[in-house]
Amino acid sequence: MTRAREPIVVVGGGIAGLATALSLAPWPVRLLCRTHDGSDTASVLAQGGIAAAIDDADSPAAHALDTLAAGAQHNDQLRVHWLCQQAPEAIDWLQTQGVVFDRDARGQLHLGREGGHQVARIVHVGGDASGAGIMAVLRQRVQQATHIQYRGDVEVDALLLRGSTVEGVRIRDRRERAHEIGASAVVLATGGIGALFARTSNPPGADGNGLALGLCAGAQIRDIEFVQFHPTALCVAESGCLPLITEALRGAGARLQDHSGRPLMTGLHPQEDLAPRDIVARQVWDAHRREGAAWLDARELKRGWERYFPTVMAACLAHGIDPRTQRMPVTAASHFHMGGLAVDLDGQTSVNGLYAVGEVACNGVHGANRLASNSLLEGVLCGRRLGVLLADRGAQNMTPKTGGGRYRWVTRGNSLPAELMADLRSTLWRAAGPVRDAAGLQQASQACAQWAEQGWQARLASDLLAAARSRAHSLGSHYRADALIGGEFR
Ligand code: SIN
């Protein structure tokens, strides 16, 4: 329920946050972001585009089947069907906002193929610069929107509850000054937790802040052990945000190889290099364990680099690698969190007045492993659905059922000091990366328990490790090397 007069606070400037804020019109919105221009989001870095059954030979049902197969059937089926059915509408809405998708020679939307998709159904903007292209347009829309008041360079570190209803947030500006903002509802759109792992394709802001805030307000979480690892980040450093090498490059013919040039995926899955991500990521992880390296060979790709893969090309060249003539060193990297704050399709968490949308939320559409190019899609569709819903409730003057109660702040608490953050990231990468086992998870849990008093990130990591320990079998992206499968350890 929304309380009349006060703004709706949207925390996070990724695609889900912007779609929510725009769709809330004319209800007043305070949009809060950690960087001055909201650029520190995984949406901006997204290379893959948006999956939608647009081609005459394709159908939402086929898109749903692929989504369910990638998700290891752990998905909420009805919600998957809704997502896939609505996908073409998301493309229409983005075009209405001014997004210009790539077209083929016949003037039709150009459709690419990525891992887990049986057919080509991914639309892109500027080739592999999809996220940047879409976000630039939506950010412009936000700047023009009179109902949105934008505030950057702030971090939300506490939620205000009245009784059991969220009624506001506390922000800290760059000078650590605290400000309080009352809200008729709070929407967390803060992204995922990729930056808690040593190797990631995510920006530093993807550190689980929104998840930690929801937890301290008592919100229920779901499936938080399911973290997707992308098979191909450019392996140019031991840790940090690594440049992504889009899966679309494998869709266009690039192949994974071991150090001696032997194909990594042959015979392991019918879709080989385009098998679902968790399967490919484990092979890349394993090649690193055995030989200290894995490679992506795209030298056969003679044309189209500038048009379809300008981002990959620029990242490689910046690191002294010419992908037209050299193999690219690749590593698996944390990429997407399927788990999060448990919500229904309307983004309602288990706490009154608190909503979550996009990667911070878990509504069950992605199951145990997200299908490629379904995340921007979810951000747009669920953001729009939530924005329209809350605006409608506001227009009907629906008042909150708070039942009153006393006001109290729930706070996330201190951040881990930088040196412990580095230890935490390495610990999670080793123990809760693409391959997990009981001993590693237990050791990591002990380490995080020691750090728990010193920072919220360690408490969040402990929750993730506990969930991973209690799921003793492998499912989707959660792979337990110590699980017995069909009478054998695999
Ligand atoms: C990619 O381009 O490989 C990533 C796409 C996605 O994460 O959906």
pLDDT tens per residue, range 410-468: 999 999 999 999 999 999 999 999 999 999 999 999 999 999 999 999 999 999 999 99
- The Å distance, Cα 5 to ligand 1 centre, comes to 40
List of residues 6+ apart from 320 with CB closer than 8 A: none
- The Å distance, Cα 286 to ligand 1 centre, comes to 21
Q: Which of 162, 277, 327, 385 is catalytic?
A: 277
Spatial distance between the Cα atoms of 169 and 178, rounded to a whole number of angstroms: 10
Check whether 2 has a pLDDT greater than 80.
Answer: no
Tell me the sheet residues that pair with 209: none
Q: What are the distances in angstroms from CA 78 to CA 159, 221, 344?
A: 32, 20, 12
Query: What is the chain's length?
Result: 490
Residue 454 half-sphere exposure toward CB, CA atoms < 13 A: 13
Q: Is residue 393 annotated as a catalytic residue, yes or no?
A: no
CATH architecture of 229-334: Alpha-Beta Complex (3.90)
Is the CATH number of domain 8-226+338-410 3.40.50.300? Answer: no
Is there a contact between 38 and 336 (Cβ–Cβ < 8 Å)?
no
**Model pLDDT, residue 304:** 87
pLDDT tens per residue, range 106-154: 999 999 988 889 999 999 999 999 999 999 999 999 999 999 999 999 9
Residue 199 half-sphere exposure toward CB, CA atoms < 13 A: 26
Number of separate helices (H) and strands (E) present in the chain: 14, 22
Per-residue tokens: 450: 């020691």
Q: Which protein residues touch ligand 1 with a CB less than 6 Å away?
A: 47-48, 114, 246-248, 372-373, 375
pLDDT tens per residue, range 199-249: 999 999 999 999 999 999 999 999 999 999 999 999 998 888 999 999 989
Peptide bond before residue 263 is cis, with ω within 30 degrees of 0: no
**Model pLDDT, residue 243:** 96
Is there a contact between 172 and 178 (Cβ–Cβ < 8 Å)?
yes
Report the nearest-CA residue for atom 4 of ligand 1: 48
Let me know if the fold of 8-226+338-410 is the same as that of 229-334: no
Spatial distance between the Cα atoms of 377 and 180, rounded to a whole number of angstroms: 33
**Model pLDDT, residue 191:** 98
Report the nearest-CA residue for atom 5 of ligand 1: 48
pLDDT tens per residue, range 276-311: 889 999 999 999 999 999 999 999 998 889 999 999
- Domain ranges in the chain are 8-226+338-410, 229-334, 414-489
Spatial distance between the Cα atoms of 8 and 187, rounded to a whole number of angstroms: 8
Is there a contact between 59 and 423 (Cβ–Cβ < 8 Å)?
no
pLDDT tens per residue, range 70-102: 999 999 999 999 999 999 999 999 999 999 999
Spell out the SS3 assignment of 312-375: HHHHHHHCCCCCCCCCEEEEEEEEEECCEEECCCCCECCCECEEECHHHEECCCCCCCCCCCCH
- 486 band by pLDDT with thresholds 50, 70 and 90: very low
pLDDT tens per residue, range 158-176: 999 999 999 999 999 999 9
Note the CATH number of domain 414-489. Answer: 1.20.58.100
